[in-house]
Amino acid sequence: MSYRLGVLLGDDIGPEVVPEAITVAKAALDAVGVAAQWIDIPIGRAAYDATGTTMPADTIDRLAALDGWVLGPIGHQAYRELGEGAFNPHPIIRKHFDLYANIRPALSYANVPSLHDGVDVLIVRENNEGFQPDRNMVVGEGEFMPSEDMALSIRVITRKASARLARIACEYAEARGGHVTAVHKDTVFKLGCGLFAEECRKVAGEFPGITFDEVMVDTFALKLAMNPKQFDVVVITNLFGDIMSDLAAGLVGGLGLAPALQMGPKYAMAQAAHGSAPDIAGKGVANPYALIMSVAMLLDWLGRQRGDGALILAASAMDGAIKETIKDAKTLTPDLGGTASTGEMGRAVAARAASLVAA
Ligand code: ATP
């Protein structure tokens, strides 16, 4: 089989880390004999400078014709100074392709300075409703001001989104031989969180092989900060999940170690949890780990969707290669305590990915 995969570089450190992730993926795919065509699609500030918009009109159609794609970080905070055509494209993409589940692993490494050792938490975060006003309405925005002195934010929770998210979490837990924790606050948000929790309970009941419990979001923050090892798979609503996954990344060594896959029924997108990090852009020091792992998750997802064992093997070689590179600690970026550049770390991982397949 052959695949068509999109490359959307994004802003700031995007053009530094995304190409490294593609280099590693190419090395792994070549080694397992899978043909892939990588198609550049302009997005973000570069697209704005060339066309007057951060997301050209044909972007959705071009993405729909692909098997999957990689989206680099978007520096949307800087868009405020630009004109009307400058907007954050990723909520539109997530919504259009129904990428309802955001899978965010947090894994600690013994040799990387971190607040806790032995962390292996997988956060399964709802992606398209909740409090996020830029995607929780069909028309208009979920935030508005009836008067100069009052702002209202609407939070949307549906049975359908809660149940299908819980199913993804339970499937991951089943594969990891583990445990699902539903995180919410139904003591206060009796209807919204209540409905989410009810659906999680129902779905978990269909998976006799996993254990299931529930923790209030504030207690979860405390427990995660003090003893993250007690958690395995976490299913959580959108905004709570956004905050808790950054906390989880902070526990294991920072956002450079925070990959993510955005997945839906038909499409998936590799997009790291970190932003465009303008503070370190252009210095060649950004950690490519998060993007490399995000692309590995994309190839694994695609391999499972299409029943293609070679793709799954390539994904596992990428995963193994970056883990080995971190463990041997010779080619690490400064955030991980090393002195390597983004490119040096990317090339080291690519060489390892190819040799892991050959071994
Ligand atoms: P956004 O709101 O767009 O998600 P953010 O507010 O989460 O962005 P980031 O751009 O992710 O902010 O940056 C947060 C911090 O993490 C910065 O100090 C940045 O340098 C660091 N950081 C983010 N990504 C990386 C990376 N790949 N390698 C090293 N450091 C990173």
Cα 255 to ligand 1 centroid, rounded to whole Å = 6
The closest-lying atom of ligand 1 relative to the alpha carbon of residue 291 is: 27
Confidence at residue 357, expressed as pLDDT on a 0 to 100 scale: 85
Amino acid at 264: G
Per the CB < 8 A criterion, the answer to whether 13 and 70 are in contact is: no
122 lines ligand 1 (CB under 6 A): no
Amino acid at 316: S
pLDDT grade for 17, boundaries at 50, 70 and 90: very high
pLDDT grade for 306, boundaries at 50, 70 and 90: very high
The closest-lying atom of ligand 1 relative to the alpha carbon of residue 335 is: 29
255 lines ligand 1 (CB under 6 A): yes
294 lines ligand 1 (CB under 6 A): no
Confidence at residue 177, expressed as pLDDT on a 0 to 100 scale: 79
- Give which of 158, 150, 153 is closest to 141, Cα–Cα: 153
Confidence at residue 76, expressed as pLDDT on a 0 to 100 scale: 92
Q: Which residues contact 302 (CB under 8 A, 6 or more apart)?
A: 3, 67, 68, 268, 308, 311
3-state class of 304 per DSSP? helix
Q: What is the mean pLDDT of the chain?
A: 95
Q: Which residues contact 244 (CB under 8 A, 6 or more apart)?
A: 123, 183, 217, 220, 221, 224, 234, 236
Report phi then psi at 4, rounded to 5: -115, 115
Cα 224 to ligand 1 centroid, rounded to whole Å = 21
Atom 2 of ligand 1, residue of closest alpha carbon: 275
274 lines ligand 1 (CB under 6 A): yes
* pLDDT tens track for 30-80: 999 999 999 999 999 999 999 999 999 999 999 999 999 999 999 999 998
Confidence at residue 138, expressed as pLDDT on a 0 to 100 scale: 85
185 lines ligand 1 (CB under 6 A): no
341 lines ligand 1 (CB under 6 A): no
297 lines ligand 1 (CB under 6 A): no
The CA distance from 104 to 125, in Å, is 8
The CA distance from 9 to 52, in Å, is 17
Give the containing element (helix H, strand E) for 94: helix 90-96
The CA distance from 251 to 240, in Å, is 17
359, pLDDT greater than 90: no
* pLDDT tens track for 278-290: 999 999 999 999 9
290 lines ligand 1 (CB under 6 A): yes
What is the average per-residue pLDDT within 11-24?
A: 98
* pLDDT tens track for 120-152: 999 999 999 999 888 888 888 899 999 999 999
3-state class of 117 per DSSP? coil
What is the average per-residue pLDDT within 316-331?
A: 95
Strand arrangement of the beta sheet that strand 268-270 belongs to = 35-40, 2-8, 68-71, 268-270, 261-263, 101-107, 120-126, 233-236, 179-184, 211-216
The CA distance from 147 to 125, in Å, is 33
Cα 286 to ligand 1 centroid, rounded to whole Å = 9
Best mutation site among 274, 285, 341, 344 for ligand 1 pocket (most ligand atoms within 8 Å of CB): 274
Confidence at residue 252, expressed as pLDDT on a 0 to 100 scale: 93
Confidence at residue 104, expressed as pLDDT on a 0 to 100 scale: 97
Confidence at residue 136, expressed as pLDDT on a 0 to 100 scale: 87
